[in-house]
Structure 1
């Protein structure tokens, strides 16, 4: 049983029909949850050690690592029946959209730290960390996620190019 089938089997019936209709979005959300853990794990590892004085740089590096994981998972799972472009063209588009999303993701953290001065010594360490997490990992990530989903479906893995991929996937043994 696949991950999506497992999730769907445990979902109440009225919601299950909606999730089946939006299966691609469900897969995208599960990839997002995975990359959320990767992103925050790398961010806090860097931010609390070698890049303590540079939280925005640490966040940018963490987003790049999570983006690479995201490409592999989205390409091979979330949008596997879409696309059909040459792999290098597709990867280039993916990373361009993701690069723009990195900027979108960093804007709330940058504003929190440098415009609102929610950093030590202006606030306590706890307030700084809560503000960093809220702005960088919740607000920024949600804004970037919406932008990525739209950009990936529109340009990176467009449905009109997916006919060849769907045929390939349906011919694969299960």
Structure 2
């Protein structure tokens, strides 16, 4: 079996593609808000940007990444699970930015604008996204879009 035929590899590549697209959405919304109406509230701008990207991610994940695990009768359960996992992911994603800004004090006037923006980018979109991505990959597989055959076997074994 080649790598392209392995369903886990295909799903992982699709997950990374959706994540890459949503990363761009996050950056666009974050910087759009941060440099216009939410300049004094960078964490809020980042939270809003992540929320917008999460909605996009749900649609793309359901229809593209996990299409083989997309059961119509589980749609409501999947949506609720995705929202819970995504809310936790947003907190994980935003925590490094919050820590950078408000714990380490990497914001103007304590540091230069360039240092502030570099720290914001590294802590939020880079470190935060990496941590949240690992969490989301694990949680979506485990709880939201589980392998139906494995889940059925586990239920049978438990009974």
For 1:58, which of 25, 33, 45 is the aligned residue? 45
Matched, 1:96 2:89: no
1:157 aligned residue: 145
More helix by share: 2
Deviations 1:48-95 (A, max 9, x none): 010000000000000000000000000000000014252111101001
For 1:125, which of 108, 113, 118 is the aligned residue? 113
2:154 aligned residue: none
Where do 5+ consecutive residues of structure 2 fail to align?
151-159
CA deviation after TM superposition for structure 1 residue 20, in Å = 4.4
CA deviation after TM superposition for structure 1 residue 161, in Å = 6.1
Question: How large is the Cα RMSD of the aligned pairs?
Answer: 1.4
Where do 5+ consecutive residues of structure 1 fail to align?
1-16, 163-174
CA deviation after TM superposition for structure 1 residue 160, in Å = 1.4
Residues 9-20 of structure 1 aligned to structure 2 (within 5 Å): 17-18=2-3, 20=5
Give the alignment's TM-score, normalised by structure 1: 0.81
2:25 aligned residue: 38
How many corresponding residue pairs? Answer: 146
Provide the rounded CA distance (Å) in 2 between the counterparts of 1:83 and 1:129.
40
Provide the rounded CA distance (Å) in 2 between the counterparts of 1:19 and 1:117.
46
Q: Helix, strand or coil for the counterpart of 1:86?
A: helix
Matched, 1:137 2:125: yes
Provide the rounded CA distance (Å) in 2 between the counterparts of 1:123 and 1:146.
31
Give the alignment's TM-score, normalised by structure 2: 0.88
Which stretches of structure 1, 4 residues or more, deviate above 2 A after TM superposition?
17-21, 83-86
Provide the rounded CA distance (Å) in 2 between the counterparts of 1:86 and 1:161.
15
Matched, 1:28 2:5: no
CA deviation after TM superposition for structure 1 residue 121, in Å = 0.4
